[in-house]
């Protein structure tokens, strides 16, 4: 048994935010019926062809689902969607603002027809307000949330290298749906959930928001270094590699002086007596650290840091992470079937005792049309007619 066995999710989803949420529900055992456009499908299927001809985004977000193609603008397709929702536990959608209302499946209609249904909508900026109709892609939401202004080097503001606004929204949709399922178990009633990418990412912007509003100063962009803690970030070594370290308190600072840079007298230096002092004199302190580290290899620096119990990391590439010994030691990779052969996929990060996550296949477009439609009571002749008419 998996925690969500017996739960059915109907997803009018595309791109990343909603698919990321529903994939996690599927891993917990939910049946996820992914509704896609006939012939084209979720446009994320076509972002690239790097995974044996498939899109890396699609492979990431869509294993363990069933694909049903529906042209939801056609009356017959709306009838099918109505059948599916009458049996579903969760309905999630991330279409453009007002799109679901124009199809006749607005919130008020859904609540009245399906009182058991948990209804989750993901949008860029929310269901009301002046930005309601504004197009929202991940980079643009990062800009609007102020994230780009605090990311990058002093000279160049930069986007985060992953779809962090989509991921934030997907995570809150996922946790919100789980919460709504618990609530329904107590009340017997469904819930309406609304998540915006801007507000989801805004929650993650808590530190710079408080820092800026109450200090009157924006956090500086420091590349890979910390804006308010020092030393905390990258340092070069003799063999031209980069080691990251983090000093979080005065005890660690003393250990760093005594056992890593071998200059215990710096513990008494007023310029470095507190984090605020170290930050204020970071240029001087960096020079001292650089002189020591330029005499050591990255491996030697890390050995000293480990012995002193100072937090540290190597600057890994993405390929290094794929090959990470910790993932291998903890058996975190699983094989997932796809239309073009098996691929490797990471297990979800929550390990639950006695539960093996569902790591099912990535579906071909419309792969489950026949199965799902026959479950709804339609015969093969009707299904064939709908295929010819472009309904499915």
Q: What tokens does 182 get?
A: 């618990």
- Alpha carbon 75 to chain centroid, angstroms: 35
Q: What is the pLDDT of residue 228?
A: 86
- How confident is the model over 255-269, as pLDDT tens digits? 999 999 999 999 999
- How confident is the model over 282-325, as pLDDT tens digits? 999 999 999 999 999 999 999 999 999 999 999 999 999 999 99
Look at domain 232-315 and name its CATH class: alpha beta
Residues of the chain with CATH 3.30.1540.10: 232-315
Residue pair 93/12 in contact (Cβ under 8 Å)? The answer is yes
Q: Is the predicted pLDDT of residue 96 greater than 90, yes or no? A: no
Mean pLDDT over 126-135 rounds to 93
Q: Is the predicted pLDDT of residue 178 greater than 90, yes or no? A: yes
Buried b (16+ CB within 10 A) or exposed e, 99-126: ebeebebeeeebeeebeebbbbbbbbbb
Mean pLDDT over 40-53 rounds to 95
Residue pair 68/33 in contact (Cβ under 8 Å)? The answer is yes
Cα distances (angstroms) measured from residue 156 to each of 68, 109, 144, 149, 313: 44, 48, 17, 9, 25
Residue pair 65/23 in contact (Cβ under 8 Å)? The answer is yes
Closest listed residue to residue 287, CA positions, set 266, 270, 305, 273: 266
Residue pair 114/184 in contact (Cβ under 8 Å)? The answer is no
Distance CA 344, CA 352 (A): 21
- How confident is the model over 23-37, as pLDDT tens digits? 999 999 999 999 999
The DSSP letter of residue 338 is -
H or E stretch at 8: strand 8-12
Q: What is the pLDDT of residue 227?
A: 83
Global pTM? 0.92
Mean pLDDT over 121-126 rounds to 96
Name the percent of the chain lying above pLDDT 90.
96
- How confident is the model over 232-249, as pLDDT tens digits? 999 999 999 999 999 999
Look at domain 8-204+325-389 and name its CATH class: alpha beta
Residues of the chain with CATH 3.40.50.10540: 8-204+325-389
- How confident is the model over 188-218, as pLDDT tens digits? 999 999 999 999 999 999 999 999 999 999 9
Burial tier of 25 (Cβ tally within 10 Å: 0-12, 13-18, 19+): buried
């Amino acid at each position: 048994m998996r925690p969500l066995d017996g739960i059915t999710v109907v997803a009018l989803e595309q791109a990343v935010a909603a698919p990321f949420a529903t994939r996690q529900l599927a891993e917990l055992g939910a049946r996820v019926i992914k509704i896609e456009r006939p012939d084209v499908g979720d446009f994320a299927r076509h972002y690239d062809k790097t995974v044996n001809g498939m899109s890396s985004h699609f492979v990431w977000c869509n294993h363990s689902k069933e694909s049903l193609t529906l042209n939801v603008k056609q009356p017959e397709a709306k009838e099918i969607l109505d059948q599916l929702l009458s049996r579903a536990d969760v309905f999630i959608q991330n279409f453009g603002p007002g799109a679901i209302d124009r199809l006749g499946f607005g919130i008020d209609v859904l609540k009245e027809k399906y009182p058991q249904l948990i209804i989750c909508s993901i949008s860029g900026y929310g269901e009301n307000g002046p930005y309601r109709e504004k197009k929202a892609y991940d980079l643009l939401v990062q800009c609007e949330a102020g994230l780009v202004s605090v990311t990058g080097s002093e000279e160049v503001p930069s986007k985060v290298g992953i779809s962090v606004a989509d991921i934030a929204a997907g995570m809150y949709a996922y946790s919100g749906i789980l919460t709504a399922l618990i609530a329904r178990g107590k009340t017997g009633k469904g819930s309406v959930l609304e998540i915006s990418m801007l507000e989801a990412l805004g929650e993650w912007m808590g530190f710079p928001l408080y820092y800026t509003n109450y200090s009157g100063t924006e956090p500086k962009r420091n590349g890979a270094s910390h804006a308010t803690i020092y030393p905390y970030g990258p340092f070069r070594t003799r063999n031209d590699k980069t080691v990251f370290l983090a000093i979080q308190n005065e005890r660690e600072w003393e250990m760093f002086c005594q056992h890593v840079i071998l200059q215990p007298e710096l513990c008494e230096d007023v310029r470095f007596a507190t984090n605020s002092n170290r930050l204020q004199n970071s240029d001087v302190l960096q020079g001292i650290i650089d002189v020591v580290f330029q005499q050591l290899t990255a491996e030697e620096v890390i050995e000293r840091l480990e012995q002193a119990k100072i937090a540290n990391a190597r600057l890994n590439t993405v390929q290094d992470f794929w090959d990470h010994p910790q993932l291998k030691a903890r058996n975190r990779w699983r094989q997932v079937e796809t239309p073009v052969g098996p691929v490797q996929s990471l297990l979800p990060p929550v390990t639950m005792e006695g539960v093996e996550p569902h790591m099912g296949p990535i579906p071909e477009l419309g792969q489950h049309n026949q199965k799902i439609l026959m479950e709804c009571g339609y015969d093969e002749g009707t299904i064939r007619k709908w295929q010819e008419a472009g309904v499915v």
